[in-house]
Each structure stands twice: as C-alpha cells, then as structure tokens.
C-alpha cells in the first residue's frame, strides 16, 4: 500500500465516530462477497499486534485521543453552548457533528466552523432544535467571538488621530470596520442566553424570546459585545465595506432625517472610536473604495 493511501486509510479509521472496531466491521459488511475480516487484515498489515494489544486496540487509542482532543477544542470554543445543553448532550452533539462534518483542516482552529449550520438545518440535530431552538444562534454567537479574537491585527483609528483634523476634512474621512469586529443578527436574544449559561443559571424561557443584532469585537485582547439598534446596524454594514464620513451622513439623512442625521452620525463615530472598531486609514493594509 502506498504511503498516501495508508495515511488516508488510517485517518478514516481514526476519525470514525463509532470507533475503529465499528468502522472495520462496517467496512467488512459493505465489502460484498469478500471473506470476512478484510478490513482488519488491512489494518494488521499497517500496525503490528503484540501480546498486550492487537492492531485494532492500538489504533483505538489514537482514535479516542483524536475525538477527545476535538471535544476539548469545541468545549473551549462553545463553553456557553456546552453549559446550556449539558455535558452529556454536548458530547452526543459533537459525536453526531463529526460524523457528518469531519475536520477538514490541518488546524483544529476550524473544527467547529460548521457547528452552527449543523444545528440549524441538519436532521441529526432535529432533537436539539426541538428542545433548544436557540442552540444554533448561540453557537453562531460563540463562533463570532472566536473569529473576533483570532482576527488579524491592524492600526486602530484613535480619537487622538482626529484631533488635528480640520473640520472641513472630516467629510473625506474614510471609515472601515477592522477585521476584529463582527456584526451579526440573531432570531434569539443570544447575549442573554450566553450570560445565563456562563453563570450556570437555569435559562428562563421568556428570556429566550426575541431577536437581536449584536456587534462582537476584540479590544485589548478581550472579546466584547453589545446590542446595536437598527439604524446603527445598517450604518455598520456600510462601514464594513468602507464609506466616507460625508457619505455616511448623506445616507443617515435619507433614513433618519436631515435634522437628526448629524447628531446620529457624530454619536456613532464617537462610539466607534471609543470601542476601537475602526481601522486607521494610514494603515498600509487599509484598502477601501467609496461608492
């Protein structure tokens, strides 16, 4: 057997959620009219058995370590979800998830990237959706926190940088969200669910009703979040793409009214500067085209 084929075969057995022995038995069952034990003999051709442990048992050690390593990573990425569902239910969720969505990236950083979508739509997660309809949103929120924490660094636009800016120059100021800021909309109030879960409190069913638009961002190596009202959420969506301050004010005038737009736009800018959301236009990595 070629090295690449041997590596793929061993990886498939190691990643089998039911375990190596079950994977070998399933492979034998689907091998047609071939003699039984074909898969086991293939394994024994790759891994030696001894008086202490046979080839299946040896590989099972790696398989168990592989699963529990991913389980540990997902527990760290989704602590509130694990707390809210319970350790046993979370263990079963990870088992089902890896069966459908095995890790495809060399880094375990991305092992949980598809968990929210799995909870949202896959038949294997139907039971969780029935018991905890907010589970997908909570997973998406916690993954947004992971993304915000791991996002690339950049030069943050500071209030001090604008101190010397002439009033007439503010209109041409380019605004763009840093990659460390994530704006998401949810059908459930995930920030309240997240707080309850992280505190170990029992979830109040009434507290799990109602949607939310949340801004998640990293500041000083801490991940933060807050609710945003609809006008600010729409403004932030444009700032995500990049927009000049005067264009933002013009847009605000069409949505809020000319008399209120300057106050809102100035308030947003002040809040965004305080939160550390914006990239400094002088950053060499900063690139934006204003429509």
pLDDT surpasses 50 at 290: no
Quote the CA–CA distance of 143 and 177 in Å, as a whole number. Answer: 19
What value does the mean pLDDT take over residues 145-172? Answer: 89
In a domain, 263, yes or no: yes
Q: Domain check: are 23 and 90 in the same one?
A: yes
Q: Domain check: are 165 and 221 in the same one?
A: yes
Q: Domain check: are 138 and 156 in the same one?
A: no
Q: Domain check: are 216 and 245 in the same one?
A: yes
Mean pLDDT, the chain, integer: 88
Q: Are 233 and 255 in contact (CB under 8 A)?
A: no
Q: Domain check: are 176 and 220 in the same one?
A: yes
User: How many domains is the chain built from?
Assistant: 2
What value does the mean pLDDT take over residues 136-154? Answer: 96
Q: Which of 94, 122, 142 is the last residue of a domain?
A: 142
Q: Domain check: are 48 and 107 in the same one?
A: yes
Q: Domain check: are 136 and 170 in the same one?
A: no
String of b and e for 185-206 (b: at least 16 CB within 10 Å)?
A: ebebbbbbbbebbeeeeeeeee
Mean pLDDT lowest among 42-56, 72-86, 148-162, 228-242: 42-56
Q: Provide the pLDDT for residue 115.
A: 98
What CATH code is carried by the domain that includes residue 246?
Answer: 3.90.930.50
Q: Which residue has the tokens 């034990």?
A: 37
Give 173's Cβ-side CA count (13 Å radius): 25
Q: Provide the pLDDT for residue 32.
A: 60
In a domain, 284, yes or no: no
Q: Provide the pLDDT for residue 207.
A: 65
Domain that holds residue 126: 3-142
Query: What is the DSSP secondary-structure string of 207-229?
Result: GG-S-EEEEEEEETTEEEEEE--
In a domain, 287, yes or no: no
Query: What is the DSSP secondary-structure string of 95-153?
Result: HHHHHHS---SSSGGGTTTTHHHHHHH-GGGHHHHHH-TTHHHHHHHHHHHHHHHHSPP
Q: Provide the pLDDT for residue 3.
A: 80
Q: Domain check: are 205 and 138 in the same one?
A: no
| pLDDT, tens digit, 9 for 90 and up, residues 189-244 | 999 999 999 999 887 776 677 899 999 999 999 999 999 999 999 999 999 999 99
What value does the mean pLDDT take over residues 104-128? Answer: 95
Quote the CA–CA distance of 151 and 179 in Å, as a whole number. Answer: 6
| pLDDT, tens digit, 9 for 90 and up, residues 22-70 | 888 888 887 765 556 788 888 888 888 887 788 887 888 777 777 889 9
What is the model's pTM?
A: 0.81
Q: Domain check: are 99 and 193 in the same one?
A: no
In a domain, 60, yes or no: yes
Q: Which of 123, 142, 161 is the last residue of a domain?
A: 142
In a domain, 282, yes or no: no
Q: State the DSSP code for 169.
A: G
Q: Is 156 helix (H, G, I), strand (E, B) or coil?
A: strand
Task: Give the model's confidence band at 291: pLDDT under 50 very low, under 70 low, under 90 confident, else very high.
Answer: very low
Q: For the chain, give the percent of residues with pLDDT over 70.
A: 94
pLDDT surpasses 50 at 289: no
Q: Provide the pLDDT for residue 87.
A: 95
Quote the CA–CA distance of 138 and 116 in Å, as a whole number. Answer: 8
Q: Measure CA of the first residue to CA of the last residue in the chain; give whole Å.
A: 58
Bridge partners of 194, per DSSP, are none
């Amino acid at each position: 057997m070629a090295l690449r084929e041997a590596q793929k075969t061993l990886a498939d057995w190691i990643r089998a959620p039911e375990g190596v022995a079950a994977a070998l038995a399933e492979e034998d069952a689907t091998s047609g009219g071939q003699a039984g034990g074909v898969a086991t003999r293939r394994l024994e051709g790759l891994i030696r058995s001894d008086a202490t442990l046979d080839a299946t048992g040896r590989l099972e050690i790696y398989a168990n370590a592989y699963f529990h390593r991913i389980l540990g990573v997902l527990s760290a990425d989704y602590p509130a979800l694990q707390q809210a569902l319970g350790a046993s239910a979370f263990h079963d969720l990870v088992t089902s998830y890896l069966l459908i969505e095995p890790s495809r990236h060399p880094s375990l950083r991305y092992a949980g990237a598809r968990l929210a979508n799995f909870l949202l739509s896959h038949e294997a997660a139907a039971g969780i959706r029935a018991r905890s309809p907010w589970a997908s949103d909570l997973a998406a929120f916690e993954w947004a926190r992971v993304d915000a924490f791991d996002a690339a660094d950049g030069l943050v636009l500071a209030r001090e940088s604008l101190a010397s800016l002439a009033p007439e120059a503010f209109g041409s100021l380019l605004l763009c969200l840093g990659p460390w800021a994530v704006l998401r909309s949810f059908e459930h109030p995930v920030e309240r669910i997240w707080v309850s879960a992280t505190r170990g409190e029992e979830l109040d069913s009434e507290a799990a009703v109602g949607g939310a638009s949340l801004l998640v961002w990293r500041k000083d190596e801490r991940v933060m979040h807050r609710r945003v009202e609809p006008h600010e959420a729409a403004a932030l969506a444009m700032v995500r793409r990049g927009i000049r301050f005067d264009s933002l004010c013009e847009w605000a005038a069409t949505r809020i009214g000319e008399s209120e737009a300057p106050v809102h736009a100035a308030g947003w800018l002040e809040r965004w500067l305080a939160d550390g959301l914006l990239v400094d236009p002088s950053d060499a990595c900063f690139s934006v085209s204003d429509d």
